[in-house]
């Protein structure tokens, strides 16, 4: 009964995939949004005494960010970004007069005369930042970064700009210093207001986030190679220029705020699409978190539900490279897409985006020179396994569940994919990729020309939840089975 245990565990465990929905904590009993990891000894041994000092000071900074984050989180959907008595209608109305209400940084408060007022974040959190000695620690870390043979003046400049931003609110100057460095710093700090997940009320306000870790130089170089290849495929395929994306595989020591609350395995910074275009962006994989999620969930689903003959001679290390790359490719898709293309799809928007990015990741993977065909096939199999993991978590992450179920749903309907004795299998890999390319083409044309109704029809046709019954009972999906749109699945 390993399967049942796995299902049970899967529902409890974190999902290795992107942007989870925050768990609701009981009122007044938030768990600290702070996660500690171990940095491998070999990585620590490469640091000189000044770098060790930088790491220690920044670890203190990150630890203190947790209490800034606590000033933003609340047990209801609102977060502490808006006055408790403000309605959405009032905020929307007032935002037309005062656009700062909608901008990601300022906090909205009720003035004495009853009107809404905005306070810049560096002022609102200023006293707490000062009390915690955060600016002071950042400046100390900057001084240490300028010492010794391994001194890093660009990183030093970045830390000083970060300290300045906390006092003057010029966040962009700090981002520019971070993203324009000509190398990845050995010890790195991510710190600022990012991601709207905590503002479940209006999805506008960023919350405090921070991480500190030591570079994994080999894996970073490999991942940057893959990223550059993937982006150049994307440019050719889409006829557009892609913004620069820097990748960092980080032996994370500590993270706090949003990434800790959301149990991120990875995230892209900064969050404003216009800034990403102008300054480029950095995709950080928090290696210990990624590994944990891969080893405990993704690999299990992969081994349980994929035809074993497809993975003969495939080691876990090979699968984990492939998982890392698939994950990276999917996330790159998000940093390349534009919000405007999706607006008319309303509630269907989010799964459509996920589907688009996942198909782009799988199809693009196949085209990359220097990557074996076997590897891209394993990436495809990993994507099927992601579908199962979303099934195990439903209905919490409905959009991912939909997107990742539509891929096998489509391929089964096309007669390309089969379920035999509870495992996905396929005959001819090239034919399978042709079907995936065709599916991607259909999705792309929905995004460019489709109406909301077309997208809903697509969903009805391919969102086939019955496949999980066959996976879980270890049975075979009959080739003559007519899929009835919207049929419920047994629990």
List residues near Zn ion by CB under 5 A: 18, 354
Q: How far is the CB of 411 from Zn ion (least distance, A)?
A: 20
Question: Between 18 and 393, whose beta carbon lies closer to Zn ion?
Answer: 18
Q: How far is the CB of 311 from Zn ion (least distance, A)?
A: 25
Q: How far is the CB of 200 from Zn ion (least distance, A)?
A: 18
229's torsion region: left (phi>0), alpha (psi -120 to 50) or beta?
A: alpha
Q: How far is the CB of 67 from Zn ion (least distance, A)?
A: 30
Question: Between 263 and 354, whose beta carbon lies closer to Zn ion?
Answer: 354
Q: How far is the CB of 17 from Zn ion (least distance, A)?
A: 7
Q: How far is the CB of 354 from Zn ion (least distance, A)?
A: 5
**Contact indicator for 265, 286 with CB cutoff of 8 Å:** yes
- How does 132-157 read in b/e, with b if 16+ C-beta sit within 10 Å? bebbebbbbbbbbbbbeeeebeebbb
Question: Between 243 and 422, whose beta carbon lies closer to Zn ion?
Answer: 243
Question: Between 72 and 383, whose beta carbon lies closer to Zn ion?
Answer: 383
Question: Between 66 and 354, whose beta carbon lies closer to Zn ion?
Answer: 354
Q: How far is the CB of 115 from Zn ion (least distance, A)?
A: 39
Question: Between 256 and 389, whose beta carbon lies closer to Zn ion?
Answer: 389
Q: How far is the CB of 283 from Zn ion (least distance, A)?
A: 12
Question: Between 134 and 362, whose beta carbon lies closer to Zn ion?
Answer: 362
Question: Between 118 and 405, whose beta carbon lies closer to Zn ion?
Answer: 405
Q: How far apart are CA 220 and CA 230, in angstroms?
A: 15
Closest residue to Zn ion: CB criterion: 18
Question: Between 94 and 354, whose beta carbon lies closer to Zn ion?
Answer: 354
Q: How far is the CB of 353 from Zn ion (least distance, A)?
A: 7
Q: How far is the CB of 205 from Zn ion (least distance, A)?
A: 21
Question: Between 16 and 270, whose beta carbon lies closer to Zn ion?
Answer: 16
Question: Between 194 and 426, whose beta carbon lies closer to Zn ion?
Answer: 194
Q: How far apart are CA 203 and CA 400, in angstroms?
A: 18
Residues in the chain: 491
Q: How far is the CB of 358 from Zn ion (least distance, A)?
A: 7
């Amino acid at each position: 009964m390993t399967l049942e245990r796995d299902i049970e565990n899967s529902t409890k465990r974190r999902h290795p995939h992107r942007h989870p929905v925050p768990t609701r904590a009981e009122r007044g009993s938030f768990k600290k949004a702070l996660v500690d990891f171990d940095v491998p000894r070999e990585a620590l041994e490469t640091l000189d005494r000044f770098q060790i000092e930088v790491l220690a000071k920044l670890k203190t900074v990150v630890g203190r960010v947790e209490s800034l984050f606590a000033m933003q989180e609340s047990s209801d959907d609102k977060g502490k970004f808006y006055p408790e008595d403000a309605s959405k209608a009032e905020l929307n109305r007032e935002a037309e007069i005062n656009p700062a209400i909608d901008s990601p940084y300022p906090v909205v408060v009720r003035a004495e005369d009853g009107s809404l007022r905005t306070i810049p974040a560096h002022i609102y959190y200023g006293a707490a930042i000062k009390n915690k000695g955060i600016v002071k620690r950042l400046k100390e870390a900057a001084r240490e970064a300028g010492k010794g043979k391994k001194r890093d003046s660009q990183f030093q400049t970045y830390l000083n700009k970060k300290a300045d931003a906390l006092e003057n609110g010029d966040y962009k100057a700090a981002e520019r210093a971070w993203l324009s460095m000509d190398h990845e710093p050995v010890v790195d700090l991510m710190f600022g207001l990012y991601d709207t997940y905590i503002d479940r009320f209006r999805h506008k306000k960023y919350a405090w986030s921070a991480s500190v870790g030591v570079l994994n130089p080999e894996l970073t170089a490999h991942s940057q190679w893959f990223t550059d290849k993937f982006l150049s495929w994307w440019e050719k395929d889409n006829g557009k220029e892609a913004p620069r994306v820097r990748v960092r595989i980080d032996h994370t020591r500590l993270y706090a705020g949003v990434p800790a609350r959301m149990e991120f395995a990875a995230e892209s910074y900064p969050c404003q699409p216009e800034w990403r275009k102008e300054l480029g962006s950095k995709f950080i994989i928090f290696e210990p978190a990624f590994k944990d999620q891969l080893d405990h969930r993704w690999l299990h689903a992969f081994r349980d539900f994929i035809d074993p003959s497809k993975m003969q001679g495939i080691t876990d290390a090979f699968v984990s490279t492939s998982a890392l790359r698939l994950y990276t490719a999917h996330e790159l898709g998000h940093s390349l897409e534009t919000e405007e293309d999706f607006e008319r799809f309303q509630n269907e928007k989010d799964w459509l985006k996920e589907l688009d990015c996942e198909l782009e990741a799988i199809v693009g993977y196949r085209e990359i020179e220097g990557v074996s065909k076997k590897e891209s096939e394993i990436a495809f199999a990993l994507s099927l396994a992601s579908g199962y993991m979303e099934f195990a978590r439903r209905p919490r992450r409905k959009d991912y569940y939909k997107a990742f179920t539509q891929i096998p749903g489509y391929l089964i309907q096309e007669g390309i994919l089969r379920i035999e004795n509870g495992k996905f299998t396929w005959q001819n890999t090239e034919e399978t990729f042709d079907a995936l390319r065709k599916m991607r083409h259909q999705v792309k044309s929905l995004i460019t020309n489709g109406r909301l109704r077309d997208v809903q029809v697509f969903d009805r046709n391919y969102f086939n939840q019955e496949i999980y019954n066959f996976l879980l009972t270890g049975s075979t999906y009959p080739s003559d089975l007519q899929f009835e749109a919207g049929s419920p699945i047994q629990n």
